Structure 1
């Protein structure tokens, strides 16, 4: 189990990079950041998956709601029609799950590579 001091730096780096990437980057860069941060800072494979899955899920959920509100909810209405008239709330959840799983698996791979290479 990592102490608070050991968690502080990876959390600050993650928050900074993900917020920066939300406005000026590509969506898949979150996975690259999760991979690199897990490789250097987080030892447990399961812990790294859960940390990044939950963090990016919540981050993408709120980011998709915020960006959709800026576009007057056009994007969620289009996606819900495209996916078979599902609820716009479900499109937000699917967006969060997509980002969460992608970043979680990238973090898992980063932590696994660390265990293999050392």
Structure 2
């Protein structure tokens, strides 16, 4: 179990990089960030997956709602029609799950590689 001091630096770095990436980066860079942070800071594979899955899920959920509101909800209506007339709220959840699983598995891989290399 990591102490609060050990968690503070990875959390601050992750939040800063994810926010920076949300506006000026590519979507897949979240996985690279999760991989690198997990490799250098987080020892447990399961913990790294859960931390990054939950954080990126919530982050992408709110980011997709915010970006969709800026476009007057055109994107969620298009995606809901494309996916078989599902609820726009479900498209937000699917967006969060996509980002969460991608970043979670990247973090798991980073933590696994750390355990293998040491």
User: Which band: TM-score by shorter chain?
Assistant: over 0.9
Q: Structure 1 residue 37: deviation in Å?
A: 0.2
- Name the SS for the 1:84 alignment partner: coil
Shift of 1:105: 0.0
Supply the distance in 2 between the matched residues of 1:88 and 1:2 (Cα, whole angstroms): 39
TM-score (norm 2): 1.00
Post-superposition Cα deviations, 1:6-32, rounded to whole Å, max 9, x if no partner, equal 000000000000000000000000000
Using the TM superposition, give the Cα deviation of residue 95 of structure 1 relative to its aligned residue in structure 2, in angstroms: 0.1
RMSD of aligned alpha carbons: 0.1
- The CA deviation at 1:110 is 0.1
2:64 match: 64
Deviation at 1:117, TM superposition (A): 0.1
Give structure 2 stretches of 5+ with no counterpart. Answer: none
Q: TM-score, normalised by structure 1?
A: 1.00
Q: Which runs of 4+ in 1 moved over 4 A?
A: none
CA distance in 2, matches of 1:25, 1:115: 29
User: Shift of residue 91 of structure 1?
Assistant: 0.1
CA distance in 2: counterparts of 1:33 and 1:47, whole angstroms: 16
Q: Distance in 2 between matches of 1:44 and 1:14?
A: 17
Gaps spanning 5+ residues in structure 1: where?
A: none
In 1, Cα distance between the equivalents of 2:10 and 2:98? Answer: 22
Shift of 1:5: 0.1
